[in-house]
């Protein structure tokens, strides 16, 4: 079956490749931190990103969506640059930008769910929901690490993410079940 939804197809291709960039970035991030607990948590997040990439590929294969060579190249380079930069930009910025990135990634999976649902396809709801929730867990982890850092208010003001601002409307303490999750990430 072919998907007649160019925006969904492009979003799947981008997500597949961007997950590789994120995994590469977390390799550098985990390598650069000194705290063993942080290192372990970030490594687990890297594994989650590789798992998300695998799940997105399964969906793409089901609809004969080819991997974008352009996105693969672009995000490979981006991921490697971010990975290397983690060793030179200090402790705060990798945590901050990882949290900010994850905050936006949450909605990518819920947007995919909305797009599939608009085509009458519900079979991917649980997978997309779980990946979106996992990205939210990543966001919360990174914010927890920096929430009292004196740099956070400054970065939040400039980059619109932090204790008071985010890019999704999910509260893990009051999350909706899959069947009621259409309220997430509606613009």
6-183 topology per CATH: Ferritin (1.20.1260)
Domains in the chain: boundaries: 6-183
How confident is the model at residue 106, as a pLDDT?
95
pLDDT of residue 186: 84
Write down the pLDDT at residue 35: 96
Pick out the chain residues at pLDDT < 70. none
**pLDDT confidence of residue 24:** 97
End-to-end CA distance of the chain: 29
58/173 Cα distance (integer angstroms): 30
User: How high is the pLDDT of residue 112?
Assistant: 98
Any idea what the Cα angle at residue 16 is, between residues 33 and 125, rounded to 5°?
Answer: 105
Q: In terms of Cα–Cα distance, which of 140, 132, 69 is closest to 100?
A: 140
């Amino acid at each position: 079956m072919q998907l007649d939804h160019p925006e969904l197809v492009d979003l799947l291709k981008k997500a597949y490749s961007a997950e590789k960039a994120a995994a590469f970035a977390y390799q550098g991030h985990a390598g650069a931190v000194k705290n063993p607990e942080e290192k372990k948590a970030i490594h687990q997040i890297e594994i989650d990103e590789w798992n998300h990439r695998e799940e997105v590929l399964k969906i793409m294969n089901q609809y004969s969506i080819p991997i974008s060579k352009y996105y693969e190249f672009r995000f490979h380079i981006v991921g490697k640059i971010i990975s290397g930069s983690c060793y030179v930009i200090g402790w705060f910025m990798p945590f901050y930008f990882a949290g900010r990135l994850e905050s936006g990634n949450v909605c990518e999976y819920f947007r995919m769910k909305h797009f599939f649902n608009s085509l009458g396809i519900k079979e991917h709801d649980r997978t997309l929901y779980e990946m979106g929730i996992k990205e939210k867990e990543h966001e919360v982890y990174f914010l927890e690490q920096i929430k009292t850092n004196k740099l956070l208010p400054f970065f939040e003001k400039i980059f619109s993410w932090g204790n008071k601002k985010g890019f999704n409307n999910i509260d893990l303490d009051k999350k909706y079940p899959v069947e009621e999750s259409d309220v997430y990430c509606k613009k």
